[in-house]
Structure 1
Amino acid sequence: MNVAFKEGKKIDKQLLKALYEDVQWNAYTKDLSQLQQALVNSLFVLTAWEGDQLIGLIRVVGDGLTILYIQDILVLNSYQNRGIATEMMQLVVKKYKDVRQKVLLTEEAPDVRHFYEKNGFISCDKGTLVAFAKIN
């Protein structure tokens, strides 16, 4: 497997649709133009490719100085558990190593918790922080 990582916010709608639908993030694909605009408005987008196939993406929002919010991290199901998401996460954390607050919000699942903990994130329910979210 020869994975190439690329920085860039302009990604073909159909490639985005295939990736997001493969991991069943269908709420994002209801309006592909909005998804594309969300990427353009992001602080940073890193993608993983095998040839011409988009196989992974991590999207970051924030100011890049004091706070960083990892909004999306996804890898095609057939490419999961190969270290692609870990490598994308490590590249983002390294790029923004001086940013004090690195935050993300995700659904609870044992494999998800393990992934973020192995990448240095601590669940707010296990520390001195509290997290709040309002989701429409």
Structure 2
Amino acid sequence: MTINFVNSKNINREQLERLYNDVEWYAYTQDVEVLQHAIEQSLEVISVWNGEELVGLIRVVGDGITIIYIQDILVLNAYQNQGIATQLMQQVLNKYKNVRQKVLMTEDAPDVRHFTKRMISYLAIRVL
């Protein structure tokens, strides 16, 4: 398995839909065109690929100078608990290390809560 991190907002609609559905973020996939437009308008998008398969992504919004919001961070269920989400967070926080406010926006689901608690202690970020 070769995992590649790609900094690009150009992601195929079907791949986006598959990823968001796999993690049960169905509100996003009710209108995949809107989701794709949101991805394109984001400050930063880092996607994770195993060959041609989209396995994860992180999406950042904000001004990139005084504040960033980590809006989405998701990894296909089959690839979770392998450190991919942590690597995505590290890449974003390294790039925006001089930004004063870093906010993680997240769902209130048990599996997400577990990850969020690990990230708070590990990366010292603010969660809303």
Structure 1: state its 5+ residue gaps: 124-130, 132-136
- What TM-score, normalized to structure 1? 0.86
- Summarize the alignment of residues 59-74 of structure 1 with structure 2, pairs less than 5 Å apart: 59-74=59-74
Please report the RMSD computed on the Cα atoms of aligned residues, expressed in angstroms: 1.4
What residue identity is the alignment partner of 1:63? D
Larger radius of gyration: 1
**Identity score, percent:** 52
Distance 1:78 1:115 in 2: 20
Where 2:68 maps in the other structure, the secondary structure is strand
Q: Which residue of 1 aligns with 2:115?
A: 112
Contact 1:116 1:122 in 2 (8 A): no
The residue that corresponds to 1:45 in the other structure is: 45
Aligned length in residues: 124
Match of 1:9 in 2: 9
What's the CA shift string for 1:3-22, capped at 9, x where partnerless?
10000111100000000000
Q: Which amino acid aligns with 2:22?
A: D
Deviation at 1:122, TM superposition (A): 4.6
**Distance in 2, Cα, partners of 1:31 & 1:23:** 16
**Corresponding residue for 1:31?**
31
Change (3 A) 1:69 1:90: same
Shift of 1:52: 0.3
